Structure 1
Amino acid sequence: MRASALNLLAALGGASTEVPALEAAGLAMPGLTGVERGRGPWDVLTTADAPELPGSELTFVALPDGTLVVDADVPDGSVSPLADALEQELGPPYEAAAVRSESGTWTVAAHAVLVAPAGPADADTAELARVDGVVTARLDDSEIDAHTAPPGLVALLDGVDGDAALTAERLDETTWVAQRWAL
């Protein structure tokens, strides 16, 4: 499972939601005193019923054409209710994680991603950065010449003016899933 998907699952389970600590009885509690509730690493958080979907947790990626790439063996169409709920607020492409509650309802979170074509010789992970016009690149934690970086990822980095960075993980043999930030 991709590290970005594991991070979504961990946050969805409450491991990294960054809710402010209780400083005194009844003080600094989100929803009670005006303190904002901590936001996880997602753009959308919602619930959905998916009775045909087995298991207790799941991650998937929605590609720009609407294809769902699921990180588990599930019945065809069983993930669609989760995607439909997310797509009320966030269109593809996105990466999602879902956890089933004891009542059977799924809580599903997603964040927008970028996708790029991957070549057969590409690595599993990539990091590219451009600072003051100088591009650096790492594939599978090894620094490489930026001119040999995967062309699809270079094109994504070039989609932002000025200083920028991106991280990417291979989704499958033909696709990178990436996040990009202006610096």
Structure 2
Amino acid sequence: MKELSLHILDITQNSIRAKAKHVKLQIIESLVENELTIIIEDDGCGIPENQLAGVTDPFVTSRTTRKVGLGLSLFKAAAEACGGSFLISSTEGVGTKVVGSFRRDHIDRAPLGNMADTILTMIMSFGETDLYYEHDYNNQQFILNTREIKETLEVESLNEPEILNWIREHVMEGLKEIQEIMEET
């Protein structure tokens, strides 16, 4: 995939298929440690222990519509190709956690991509599932919590054009702000 954000979308769709009610996405960028880490956690049905070891095999999938599952295997390959690592842990009935770490300056590391559009796409496809998004750029944080937005607006769904436009702008401004703070110091 050309951007890491596409991996994020793919993996969070696994969370939705696993009937998660909450998805947590953390992106940690550290120039000092030369790392980019992506953490995706959900409270879905989890992966049975006897299937966990094979989830990064592209020819192992729980989907019935096709016989290959490339999402996790491609994410793992992308991380490892950049001097990073991949870890997946899951407990049946509790949820799943996927962690991909990348050497930030590695020549083969794909760009992160457009996170505002990625978050927007996630929200539009999540239905009732809530998203907690935390982006840490050199210890400066931006946080978006869809549950808080729903409670503040007193709505059950964020899939209204004016709300989605606000969310997109809010994410773009928030990410720009945390990066500008670091440039000023």
* Shared fold, TM over 0.5: no
Q: TM tier, shorter chain? A: under 0.3
> Relative contact order (alpha carbons < 8 A, sep ≥ 6): 1 or 2 greater?
2
Larger radius of gyration: 1
Larger strand fraction of residues: 1
Q: TM-score, normalised by structure 2?
A: 0.23
TM-score, structure 1 length as denominator? 0.23
Higher helix proportion, which one?
A: 2
